[in-house]
Structure 1
């Protein structure tokens, strides 16, 4: 085999291998909760949901075509940590609730069922960990005591 051919192959293959080995990884962390009072926000009575399914989904900013998707499950406290491989550049990425294993708390809160995450280093963020806002499911029937709890929040001075 000609040595020039080997050099040509090395020059073509090595940059690809170096890029693949250096692919950026991000960890998206967040929480999924049960809105026990159907308040539309977290209160002191909103426990985490263990075993809830969550996806990280990225779409092309122009065409809205899905360019990346991966799923994860929450731990015993309702927290998740999902690894995303590759810089998502100009994609629009969201953490999205998929399902709750709790039959009494499985109605997705339409205002809190997704959270935007930035998965690129082109914006000055140095850490590879990204934190998504908490996402929730509604309990079908509010717990007893919710009226008093929500009244407490209304009385709080801001």
Structure 2
């Protein structure tokens, strides 16, 4: 019994000693290759643009990604003081990536999209989306995701009636 007490006491002592050592290590003592630790902090803003052929103003199984759409990330401080602007273009999957340098904690940042080609050019009501870009917000990742933005066609696809039924939206009028 005495022997097991000594073993437990040694384990507890070792744990306490290692906790004291760990508490003395500061973040500056730990080497890192993380880009967020560099002076040139940056984020990667990632989003997707799609075409809604039904005018639902949300993605459905008929929605398609839009390639070649111009996307702009703009941060402002106050009413009209623009502090950061960067553009990108969507790839064949409708995805864009924008590298954003700096900490934008006191700014409002928005992503806007403009589609000037094809038959899916009518912007939805949610024509832009806000994104938070401070470095100390509790998110360890450098990637910030934006809600998908969409465009609509002028004419409604004939298959949209089936989608309305599948989603149970036809029963909402009852």
Match status 1:79 vs 2:95: yes
Match of 1:37 in 2: 54
Structure 2 contact 49–90 (Cα < 8 Å) conserved: yes
| Structure 1 position 127 matched with structure 2 position 144 | no
Larger radius of gyration: 2
User: Is the contact between residue 51 and residue 100 of structure 1 (CA under 8 Å) also seen in structure 2?
Assistant: no
Decide which of 141, 144, 148 is 2:162's aligned counterpart.
148
TM-score (structure 2 length as normaliser)? 0.72
Gaps of 5+ in 2: 1-37, 170-174
Count, aligned residues? 133
More helix by share: 2
* Other structure's SS at 1:149 match: helix
How much does 1:100 deviate? 4.2
CA contact (8 A) 1:38 1:142 kept: yes
Whether 1:93 and 2:71 are equivalent positions in the alignment is no
Residues 63-100 of structure 1 show CA distances to partners (whole Å, capped at 9, x for unaligned) of: 34221111100001111111111111210111111224
Deviant stretches of 4+, over 6 Å: none
Aligned mates of 2:116, 2:58 — CA distance in 1 = 17
Cα distance in 2, alignment partners of residues 34 and 153 from structure 1: 18
Deviations 1:10-57 (A, max 9, x none): xxxxxxxxxxx7211110001000011110100011000010110101
Change (3 A) 1:137 1:40: same
Structure 2 CA distance, aligned partners of 1:98 and 1:122?
Answer: 31
Runs of 5+ consecutive residues of structure 1 not aligned to the other structure = 1-20
Q: Cα distance, 1:144 vs. partner?
A: 1.1
Q: How large is the Cα RMSD of the aligned pairs?
A: 1.6
